[in-house]
């Protein structure tokens, strides 16, 4: 084969070494610029397959990592043109680089291609921990129609005692002298009476209403007083002092504290009562505090107290083993001995809560001649609600077998309850015919993490859940229920890693005053802000990222050096719009992703990459501990991270992580704006390559937020996170194209979060 003309000239004028070099360069020039472009499939087969395998799965000893990711075709083509093939980088023409990138992207690289090649299936899953507790609470609650409230503001208080001028000191002579709503229970009366006209030596106060609980978990309660007091939490209205959570009724005239603990479900209201008295003690005072899950001791605030009554709530409080979260969201796929035993204990606890009013729920009495039949009917009704559908004949027969002459009807009923709560028909909601009742079950789990209510079951019985329009109407109705708000709150916590911040602790020498009280207030501030956006009329996802206000109370305003507007409680404080950007720069989030003494660009960058910009990060090839004392003591945090992640093996991920983290360096470890780090000016500028290959110049956190708000990858990431949190399944299990379709709908609907939740619920209820 004759040489190309440039090589003929070199052969005529040069030596062997020049000839060899010319042959290599000339061949590359010929392949890259003169030859007809090969198809993408041919390029991959001839240049890539030997290292990456037939379907990008990797080849041992050459390229072990699967060829998968979330780069756009343009970004992938740019990388191929510069870096591939490994033994001859830059040898491919622009046309061949683009063709190979298109082939790779569509054949196996993209999430859609992976879903097409290995279609995920809807996994058979049992109830998650949250679904299990919520379902049992609503199942038991369906037999006693009680009161609930979401109105806050404090507790109804009635003050009684002797009035001035009374000559006797008997209880029968006591009269009501004051009635009002107290926003909190934190009083030091000293030696005085609570109100003018009352006598200081003897009085009583009854506070009644409801406790509004934000999150699920163990709540500690503490009351401090020298007087007599009882505290009731979630106690039945007809209960006695034996139901008191804290009983310090015998006063000691000395200041002392009593504590109690209760496991409560978030998003619900519970009956709450405090009885207090003073009798001839020198002074009177009372302080009632709580410690929510992961929080600090604080006086129970007005926003968690209501003067309206609530009925007691049946709660299964037994510990449950953690759900599998390996896919980034909780799934009920792990079955273990611990889980089986916990479920059995949960059934026993539920049956014990039914027992005291069993005859009432069955509409009978302990001596009624028809009590056995009524208890059988109750057992069948209980199982029907637990199974989320009418019972089959075999199921009815199995339950009725438990009613034998050898045991009383009451014992048989308890066994029937345990049988129903241990049945796969309850624990595995997908079990059974895929009819309207199955649609109702899936919809209730998506919207509430619970069972269908009576309205939804009636719709299923009429066959009125067969179309998206009918299901959407039900979802819109259900979203008005407090349980829907609790579920979306749970999602927001997951999206923002709120629970990781529960153990925030900062070096007190570096950050004096940043204590657990501040952390608790910051968490409340973040919750109030994110929920105010989601439950506003616009419900605009972008406002979560772009708002320049932070909700603060007196303690936060003092710590962060801000002036509060007029009002009470948490109020919006307008911050520097060039610096602040919604949840991304909220001090709780910034403090969560920081070290105890310093910021952490890596932690912040990883959070932003995965949760906010929706990009995939591979696990690091090896874990490297950040050891602050190993760096030059004059280094800033940015300089330390740059040095730590400089190796090529690190840069494959940190080329994305670091620019995002560096853009947040204007904020210290507690979320305050700073100008210097280690006495050097802060550098918050960075070059970030977006998922589509676009180079973005970042000058700070606000630029990241603006990009995230308009980034389709970031929007898709938010949609994916919400879908997984609501449905407990991946979007690809429904369709490779579903994520793109939902994201497109989200954009067209002006990023309305609540509407997105309804569309997700409709898809979950009616899988194609």
Report the CATH number at residue 180: 2.60.120.1560
Neighbours of 325 (CB within 10 A): 12
Q: Are residues 452 and 510 in the same domain?
A: no
Q: Are residues 403 and 360 in the same domain?
A: yes
Q: Are residues 302 and 340 in the same domain?
A: no
Q: Are residues 325 and 194 in the same domain?
A: no
Which whole number is the average pLDDT over 269-283? Answer: 95
Q: Are residues 521 and 599 in the same domain?
A: yes
pLDDT, tens digit (0-9, with 9 covering 90-100), for 299-308? 999 999 999 9
Indicate the pLDDT class of residue 112, thresholds 50, 70 and 90.
Answer: confident
Which H helix or E strand runs over 210?
A: strand 198-213
Look at residue 456 and tell me whether its pLDDT is greater than 70. Answer: yes
Which whole number is the average pLDDT over 477-486? Answer: 96
Which whole number is the average pLDDT over 288-292? Answer: 96
Q: Are residues 461 and 535 in the same domain?
A: no
pLDDT at 165: 61
pLDDT, tens digit (0-9, with 9 covering 90-100), for 695-708? 999 999 999 999 99
**12 in any annotated domain:** no
- Both structure tokens of 256: 């002392």
Look at residue 599 and tell me whether its pLDDT is greater than 90. Answer: yes
Q: Are residues 411 and 550 in the same domain?
A: no
Look at residue 237 and tell me whether its pLDDT is greater than 80. Answer: no
Which whole number is the average pLDDT over 734-740? Answer: 92
- Both structure tokens of 327: 């896919």
**168 in any annotated domain:** yes
pLDDT over 70 for what percent of the chain? 94
| Among 306, 328, 347, residue at a domain's last position | 306
pLDDT at 26: 47
Separation between Cα atoms, residue 334 and residue 301, nearest integer Å = 39
Number of folded domains that form the chain? 4
Separation between Cα atoms, residue 684 and residue 660, nearest integer Å = 9
Who wins on pLDDT, 327 or 244?
Answer: 244
Separation between Cα atoms, residue 643 and residue 663, nearest integer Å = 17
Q: Are residues 433 and 458 in the same domain?
A: yes
pLDDT, tens digit (0-9, with 9 covering 90-100), for 40-81? 899 999 889 888 988 988 888 887 778 888 778 888 888 888
In angstroms, the Cα distances linking 275 to 203, 205, 469 are: 11, 6, 51
Q: Are residues 135 and 281 in the same domain?
A: no
**Residue for token digits 């991270």?**
641
Q: Are residues 571 and 638 in the same domain?
A: yes
Full-model pTM: 0.87
Indicate the pLDDT class of residue 25, thresholds 50, 70 and 90.
Answer: very low
**758 in any annotated domain:** no
| Among 306, 335, 351, residue at a domain's last position | 306
Which whole number is the average pLDDT over 538-552? Answer: 97
pLDDT, tens digit (0-9, with 9 covering 90-100), for 390-447? 999 999 999 999 999 999 999 999 999 999 999 999 999 988 889 999 999 999 999 9
Most confident of 57-71, 238-252, 624-638, 693-707: 693-707
CATH code (residue 48):
1.10.760.10
pLDDT, tens digit (0-9, with 9 covering 90-100), for 561-584? 999 998 888 999 999 988 899 999
**723 in any annotated domain:** no
pLDDT at 343: 96
**700 in any annotated domain:** yes
**757 in any annotated domain:** no
**726 in any annotated domain:** no
Q: Are residues 641 and 506 in the same domain?
A: yes
**449 in any annotated domain:** yes
Neighbours of 652 (CB within 10 A): 14
Q: Are residues 543 and 686 in the same domain?
A: yes
Indicate the pLDDT class of residue 630, thresholds 50, 70 and 90.
Answer: confident
Average pLDDT, the chain: 90
513: containing domain: 490-710
Which H helix or E strand runs over 290?
A: strand 284-291
What SS3 state is found at 5?
helix
pLDDT at 83: 83
pLDDT at 623: 65
Vertex 471: Cα angle to 467 and 476 (nearest 5): 145
Separation between Cα atoms, residue 420 and residue 289, nearest integer Å = 39
What SS3 state is found at 357?
helix
pLDDT at 435: 96
pLDDT, tens digit (0-9, with 9 covering 90-100), for 677-724? 999 999 999 999 998 888 999 999 999 999 999 999 999 999 999 999
């Amino acid at each position: 084969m004759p040489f190309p003309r440039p090589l003929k000239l070199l052969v005529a004028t040069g030596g062997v070494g020049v000839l060899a070099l010319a042959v290599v360069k000339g061949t590359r020039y010929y392949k890259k610029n003169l030859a007809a472009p090969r198809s993408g499939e041919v390029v991959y087969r001839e240049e890539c397959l030997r290292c990456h395998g037939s379907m990008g799965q990797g080849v041992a000893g050459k390229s072990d990592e699967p060829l998968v990711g979330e780069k756009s075709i343009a970004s992938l083509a740019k990388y191929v043109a510069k870096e591939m093939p490994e033994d001859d980088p830059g040898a491919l023409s622009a046309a061949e680089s683009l063709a190979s990138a298109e082939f790779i992207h569509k054949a196996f690289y993209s999430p859609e291609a992976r879903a097409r090649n290995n279609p995920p299936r809807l996994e058979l899953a049992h109830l998650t921990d949250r679904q299990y507790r919520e379902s049992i609470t609503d199942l038991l609650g369906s037999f006693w129609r009680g009161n609930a409230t979401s109105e806050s503001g404090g507790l109804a208080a009635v003050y009684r005692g002797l009035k001035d001028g009374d000559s006797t000191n008997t209880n029968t002579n006591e009269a009501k002298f004051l009635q009002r709503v107290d926003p909190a229970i934190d009083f030091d009366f000293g030696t005085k009476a609570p109100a003018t006209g009352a006598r200081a030596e003897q009085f009583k106060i009854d506070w009644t209403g409801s406790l509004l609980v934000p999150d699920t978990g163990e709540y500690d309660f503490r009351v401090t007083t020298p007087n007599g007091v009882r505290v009731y939490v979630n106690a039945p209205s007809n209960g006695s002092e034996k139901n008191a959570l804290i009983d310090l009724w015998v006063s000691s005239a000395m200041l002392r504290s009593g504590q109690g603990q209760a496991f409560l479900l978030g998003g619900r209201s519970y009956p709450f009562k405090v009885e207090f008295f003073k009798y001839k003690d020198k002074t009177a005072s009372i302080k009632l505090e709580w410690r929510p899950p992961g929080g600090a001791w604080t006086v129970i605030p007005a926003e968690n107290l209501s003067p309206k009554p609530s009925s007691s709530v049946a709660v299964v409080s037994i510990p449950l083993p953690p759900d599998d979260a390996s896919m980034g969201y909780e799934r009920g796929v792990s079955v273990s001995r611990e889980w089986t035993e916990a479920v059995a204990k949960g059934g026993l606890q539920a049956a014990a809560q039914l027992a005291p009013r069993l005859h009432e729920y069955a509409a009978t009495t302990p001596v009624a001649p028809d009590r056995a039949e009524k208890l059988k009917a109750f057992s069948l009704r209980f199982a029907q609600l637990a199974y989320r559908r009418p019972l089959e004949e075999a199921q009815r027969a199995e339950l009725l077998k438990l009613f034998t002459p050898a045991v009383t009807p009451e014992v048989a009923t308890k066994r029937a309850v345990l049988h129903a709560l241990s049945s796969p028909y309850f624990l595995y909601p997908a079990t059974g015919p895929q009819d309207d009742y199955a649609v109702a079950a899936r919809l209730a789990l998506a919207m509430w993490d619970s069972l269908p209510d009576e309205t939804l079951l009636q719709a299923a019985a009429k066959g009125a859940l067969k179309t998206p329009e009918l299901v959407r109407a039900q979802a819109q109705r259900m979203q008005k229920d407090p349980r829907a708000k609790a579920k979306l709150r749970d999602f927001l916590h997951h999206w923002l890693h709120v629970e990781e911040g529960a153990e925030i602790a900062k070096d007190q020498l570096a950050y004096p005053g940043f204590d657990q009280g501040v952390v608790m207030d910051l968490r409340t501030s973040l919750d109030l802000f994110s929920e105010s956006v989601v439950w506003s009329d616009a419900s605009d996802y972008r406002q979560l990222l772009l708002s320049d206000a932070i909700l603060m109370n007196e303690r936060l305003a003092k710590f962060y050096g801000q002036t509060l507007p007029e009002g009470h409680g948490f109020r919006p404080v307008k911050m520097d719009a060039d610096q602040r950007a919604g949840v991304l720069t909220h001090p709780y989030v910034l403090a969560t992703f920081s070290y105890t003494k310093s910021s952490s660009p890596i932690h912040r960058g990883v959070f932003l990459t995965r949760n906010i910009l929706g990009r995939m990060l591979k696990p690091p090839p090896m874990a490297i501990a950040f050891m602050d004392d190993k760096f030059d003591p004059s280094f800033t945090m940015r300089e330390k991270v740059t040095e730590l992640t400089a190796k090529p093996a690190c840069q494959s991920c940190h080329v994305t992580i670091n620019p995002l983290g560096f853009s947040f360096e204007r904020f210290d470890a507690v979320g305050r704006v700073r100008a210097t780090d280690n006495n050097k000016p802060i550098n918050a500028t960075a070059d970030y390559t977006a998922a589509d290959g676009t180079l973005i110049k970042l000058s700070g956190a606000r630029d990241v937020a603006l990009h995230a708000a308009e980034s389709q990858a970031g929007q898709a990431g938010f949609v994916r996170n919400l879908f997984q949190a609501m449905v407990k399944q991946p979007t690809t299990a429904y369709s490779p194209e579903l994520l793109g379709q939902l994201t497109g709908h989200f954009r067209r609907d002006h990023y309305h979060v609540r509407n997105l939740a309804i569309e997700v619920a409709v898809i979950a209820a009616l899988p194609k």
